[in-house]
Amino acid sequence: MRPCATTACDHAQLLTQERHWDEAEAAWSEVASSAGGVGDREARSRALVSAGDAAFRADRPALALCHLTQARQAMEAASPLGSLLGVQIAGVHMELGKPEAARAVLEEVARATPPPHVQAVLLDTRIGLALASGRVGGARADLDALRQVAAVDTDAAVLFRQGQVDRLEGRFPEATEALASAAVLVRDEPRFDGPLGAILLELAQVAVFREDHDDALSLLDEAEAAWCRARRRSGILRTEAARLHLAASMGACDLVTGGIVRAIAFAAERELRMLETELHLAGGTALLSQDRAAAARHLRRALAMALDAGALHLAGRARLALHDAVGGSLEELETACAELVETPPWRTRGLLALALARAREPEGRDAALDLASTAFCRFSAMSLPADEARARTLLWQLARRA
């Protein structure tokens, strides 16, 4: 490579090391253009891969997709590097809210029988796709396969996915143990600040759902600090979304509107569809105690986007919150419960909401009693005392109507 090209590469590499993601993307794009101009296809492909990675970290998935697709087109798609790029492209499709495109690329890579290290990344991405779609059963099957490929159960990626699956299935002590172990493995490695932020955010989500407010606040602060070090604004905004859910459970939702509008505008401008969906859901939930009409607008948008992206668990959660905002039919609550079938903690909250709705019907006491009893037992089994108390209160009220 010519001296001037080497200097450009060094500059791009320095920007990457310092995590100036937008500037790094521009620098690597320039290197790729220069390499292409002199016919150095290998150097161009390498620079495009680096540009794509920088664009993804800069929260510009559409631009990342462009770079990575060009890089993959310049090589054998079934080669180890081509397969790895395919998996990266699938991850970008996920952020863009295009699960079918992601699934198609992953299936193509799987058919090529990639080497073990690519298989591990493939399985990890498939787990992420399944969880994003609310299909936790499929994620668990791939998690078992990932353990075999990774060969070591203490691998941080395995522990992280294990914690995610346990959290969504309501095994909160197990989720906390797995995620805490994963955090230990990456905490002292600056290059893993992004993964650490993701792990700490998952731990915070456990505390948020269990309404352990002090633990949740502490973990959210730690997660935000890690995301800030990684210079990943999307991670910071996901942490802010979790803060809004926590504030809603604490009854402390003040000055939500301005912050959530700015966050949603950022996600929309960057085409971060899954993040935008999460932010609408969080904003709508937080606004329930302040402005039900505004809450309903956010929640309807969250529901439409979740359905479009095939994110059934987010759709179910949006339906439940929308019912709190403006009411609705029993059929809507039943649909929410069906969408949440693979996420037992949320489905059980749906059953309790359905019990409350049945209890308002003149002849609905017996059906409400059955639903509330089921919810009470499941909340107890999942060690969710606040939810258990709500179910107990409804059971007591129904008993008085006997």
From residue 114, how far is each of 90, 118, 122 by CA, in Å? 15, 6, 9
pTM of the full structure? 0.93
Give 399's contacts (C-beta < 8 A, 6+ positions apart).
none
In tens digits, the chain (402 residues) has pLDDT values of: 444 456 889 999 999 999 999 999 999 999 999 998 888 888 999 999 999 999 999 999 999 999 999 999 988 877 888 999 999 999 999 999 999 999 999 999 999 888 888 999 999 999 999 999 999 999 998 999 998 886 554 489 999 999 999 999 999 999 999 999 999 999 989 999 999 999 999 999 999 999 999 999 999 999 999 999 999 999 999 999 999 999 888 876 665 556 888 999 999 999 999 999 999 999 999 998 888 999 999 999 999 999 999 999 999 999 999 999 998 899 999 999 999 999 999 999 999 999 999 999 989 999 999 999 999 999 999 999 999 999 999 999 998 876
Q: Which amino acid is at 105?
A: V
From residue 316, how far is each of 134, 202, 293, 333, 386 by CA, in Å? 10, 20, 19, 8, 21
Cβ atoms of residues 43 and 5 within 8 Å: yes
* Matching residue, tokens 């510009």: 60
Q: What is the DSSP letter of 192?
A: G
Cβ atoms of residues 282 and 244 within 8 Å: yes
CA distance 296 to 299: 5
CA distance 213 to 197: 19
Q: Which amino acid is at 324?
A: D
